Structure 1
Amino acid sequence: MIQSIKTIVTLSLVIALMALLFTYSMFQGGFVSWFLFFSFIPILLYAIFMIFYPMGLMKIERHVHQHYLKAGQTLKVTVTIRRRIPFPLFYLIVEDELPEMVTWHDTKQFKYRFLGYPEQLKNRNKAKSVMFPFLRQKLQFNYEIDAIPRGRHHLNQIKVVTGDLLGFVRREQLVNADAYVLVEPGEIPLNLGIEQSTFEEGQQTNYAVKANHTNLVSGVRDYAPGDQMSWIDWKTTARKRALVTKEFEEEKQKDLTIILNGHAEDEKRWLAFEAGVELTYSISLKAYEDYGDVSVVALGKIRDDVTLKHGKQSFEKLTRMLSQIQMVKDNQFAKQLKREAWHLSKDRHLVILTHDLSTSIYQTILQLKQQQVDVQLVFVRSKHLIGHDERHGMDQLHYGGVRVTWLNEDRLTKRQIEVSAS
């Protein structure tokens, strides 16, 4: 309805201008006035034709050169326009309407320098081009989305604008040209640091998970080729006059559960949430090499989880889950964490990654610790934005026996980040 009114108004203005020029020529007379009238007639007739030009007959297609990328890579896109009617167009403006999720630059670890003011990353130029087709029926527009961020991106509408020479007529058309791109989260170089293993005699900390531990001897046996010299029991060897090797107690590892906070009371924490996603992905892949069972739980709009197993299927599910998860604006994480604790076995390590540390969250974590759950917190927050309440929360967790790792812009931009997953 609004478009029809605009068309009628534009047509009326063009006709009125023609009538005004004709009236001026009739009353003024002379060569100049009639020359002016006849000079403007083609321009005004073209404007009338442009009012009725069928924009809907344009066929517009979008072709993405890659459907699967890693965060920070460059996506190449080609927009093709095919015109069925060879009507002369003096200009054509083509603009790809990019989704909100693509408006910021993912510069890998360097983006965390803006952890305190993430809006500065939203400086992407529009995918826009001005063409001068005239009678050409096929046009192409190529552009790139560099440093593309994580997510499942839906590229949908393309806007096409044209008009007459004097700007009396402006025709605009929005065309749906669907394309989907899945961008996997980036990986952060990690050093998982100290790990804990459980033995029948209690707990012990070590820096590398090994098949045998030389300080827990369970017996002796005859020497076998391949045994290390440090394993030989020299006293028993001297007594028996034959090489005897110590036997070590077999390690029993705890399994690992990683919980990601997908909630936030403030939308401006979206970059800290992105750090949590990348840390979850990196810790999962790194810990899988050392732990027998690694489970990842994402608590957001819905609960989603995956258990890493041998084979590609579980890793593909993890990648897909962390690629598509989006932050939800509410404060329901503490409640979801409590519900999650009911299903959590006490013989598992628990790592919680969060960009928010409200009173309800750290009190819930303290309750988990009181239930003998081996829990660790990884907290992402800019050093410029962290408040007194959050520092108090970290202190309370520390005094309660919870291992706390605070990651700010200084630590996130290092070549390697130290995170304990024990």
Structure 2
Amino acid sequence: MKLGHRFAFSLWLRVMMLIILTAAVFCYAMFQGGFVSWFLFYAFLPYALYALLFALVPLRVTAKRTLQQTRLKAGDVLSVDLEIKRTNPFPYVYVLIEDDPPDTFHLKEQIEMKQMLFPWFRKTWRFSYQLNDVMRGEHHLSAVRIKTGDMFGFVEKEVIIPLEKKLLVYPKMLDLQVESAESVNENGGKAVHSWLNEPTHVTTGVREYQQGDRFAWVDWKTTARRGQLMTKEFEQNQTKDLVVFADFTDEAAFETVVSITASVLQSAVKKGVPAGLVPLGDQHVFRVDQGESHLQDLLYFLTMVQHHPSRALECKAFAASEYQYAGKYVVTGHLHEELAESLFVNRNRKNITVLLVKRAADRYTTKEKQLVDRLKASGMRTTVLFEDRLHERTVR
């Protein structure tokens, strides 16, 4: 209320100054006389009258915001359409429309969310903008700010229209190519071994090749004997559970660890594999479950999770009895002795896949190389991923 009174006082102060200035120009023309003085008065008079009328006519507008995408992933483009309607026919020389950016956007230039229009008699004003590379998280668009004035800025008006809109930006989904354990390398390629894509079934017979069959399923002996392509038939086994242990304590690779964790969980749930999440150093633990609602709970947590460097890793969770027979994914940006030792105590090491995420090859330390060799020698699948090559492609 105080802000409204202050704005009204400032408006009427400007109006009084405009009236005084108009009177001064008139007095100058009266006492000075001549063509030049009266020309200045008559040339100034239309602008003064417009400014006075502008001050008397209230700025009454309504706003509508439309988001072209309701679900976004980090790095996507956000497209927004704003529609402003006014009720009076008064001509406006210019209007400045700005969609107030939330603090969570961290925009380098807020000019991306504002635009100046010259509507004059138009009653509907439209403004569209795009934001590239939107950050992961929950963002709240709160209001639309509209500012206008007369030609020379004698009188200015501003109105803020509350327009709440919540926007969820999920983690970026990465395209992790799945290959056999023998082809997994440490040169930063995107090949990630996954037991999810291994055949979880046994051969029960052969049949003719059909479009869409994997080339690896071809039974070459039967093909050579019959003279046509034959593929193996399988009997499905019971699906394994999957638990992802995510280490969110490394700041350098934090966002990539979140993206890989989300990608693995989404891939598992989409294939009908019960999956759970254990954030190391966090109290939130998601039990093993399946279904779209469970996936949305996991993705929402990964959307809101923040870096907490002070939290200590709780490595005892790897050996918990409830995860004994589940496949384990360990996603981390820093492989250290304590983490490696907690993995060695597991009996079924073949079900453990370790993904070590590094920003670049020069961040891959000699100590980490030694620990990776030890993990591989113990039977664990271990892959080193470098961010610069990992983000070359994403899942849309």
TM-based fold match above 0.5: yes
Partners in 2 of 1:384 and 1:37 — Cα distance?
74
Task: Give the drift of 1:163.
Answer: 0.8
Q: 1:23 to 1:298 in 2, by over 3 A?
A: farther
SS at the partner of 1:303?
A: coil
Query: Amino acid of the residue matched to residue 11 of structure 2?
Result: T
Partners in 2 of 1:315 and 1:207 — Cα distance?
19
* Map of 2:61 onto structure 1: 58
SS at the partner of 2:126?
A: strand
Query: Is the counterpart of residue 80 in structure 1 residue 80 in structure 2?
Result: no
Task: Give the drift of 1:91.
Answer: 1.1
Partners in 1 of 2:287 and 2:140 — Cα distance?
25
Partners in 2 of 1:194 and 1:333 — Cα distance?
35
* Map of 2:358 onto structure 1: 381
* Map of 2:312 onto structure 1: 334
* Map of 2:304 onto structure 1: 325
Query: Is the counterpart of residue 352 in structure 1 residue 330 in structure 2?
Result: yes
* Map of 1:99 onto structure 2: 102
Q: 1:12 to 1:175 in 2, by over 3 A?
A: same
Of 343, 346, 350, the match for 1:372: 346
Contact in 2 for aligned 1:192/1:283 (Cα 8 Å): no
* Map of 1:282 onto structure 2: 263
Of 286, 295, 301, the match for 1:315: 295
Task: Give the drift of 1:174.
Answer: 2.3
Query: Is the counterpart of residue 89 in structure 1 residue 68 in structure 2?
Result: no
Contact in 2 for aligned 1:86/1:137 (Cα 8 Å): yes
* Map of 1:211 onto structure 2: 201
Contact in 1 for aligned 2:375/2:382 (Cα 8 Å): no
- TM-score normalised by L of structure 1: 0.65
* Map of 2:365 onto structure 1: 391
Alpha-carbon displacement from aligned partner over 1:191-236 (angstroms, at most 9, x marks no partner): 344579xxxxxxxx999334349xxxxxxxxxx97699999xxxxx
Query: Is the counterpart of residue 297 in structure 1 residue 275 in structure 2?
Result: no
Q: 1:133 to 1:28 in 2, by over 3 A?
A: same
Task: Give the drift of 1:25.
Answer: 2.5
Partners in 2 of 1:308 and 1:85 — Cα distance?
57
Q: Report how many aligned residue pairs link the two structures.
A: 347
Task: Give the drift of 1:20.
Answer: 3.3
Task: Give the drift of 1:166.
Answer: 1.0
Aligned ranges 1:15-414 → 2 under 5 Å: 15-55=19-59, 57-70=60-73, 74-102=77-105, 126-145=112-131, 148-194=134-180, 208-212=198-202, 255-263=241-249, 269=252, 272-287=253-268, 293-298=274-279, 303=284, 305=286, 307-309=288-290, 311-322=291-302, 324-328=303-307, 330-335=308-313, 337-338=314-315, 340=317, 343=320, 345-355=323-333, 357=334, 362-372=336-346, 374=349, 376-383=353-360, 386=363, 391=365, 394-395=368-369, 397-398=371-372, 401=375, 404-413=382-391
Show structure 2 runs of 5+ residues with no match.
183-194, 208-217, 222-235
- TM-score normalised by L of structure 2: 0.69
Alpha-carbon displacement from aligned partner over 1:53-110 (angstroms, at most 9, x marks no partner): 433x211111223423455555443212121222221111212233355567xxxxxx
Percentage of matched positions with identical amino acids: 27
Alpha-carbon displacement from aligned partner over 1:322-375 (angstroms, at most 9, x marks no partner): 3x32423x313434x3475585634444333234x3xxx734413423533745
**Structure number with higher relative contact order (C-alpha < 8 Å, ≥ 6 residues apart):** 1
Query: Amino acid of the residue matched to residue 273 of structure 1?
Result: F
SS at the partner of 2:372?
A: helix
* Map of 1:115 onto structure 2: none
Query: Amino acid of the residue matched to residue 313 of structure 1?
Result: S
Contact in 2 for aligned 1:306/1:314 (Cα 8 Å): no
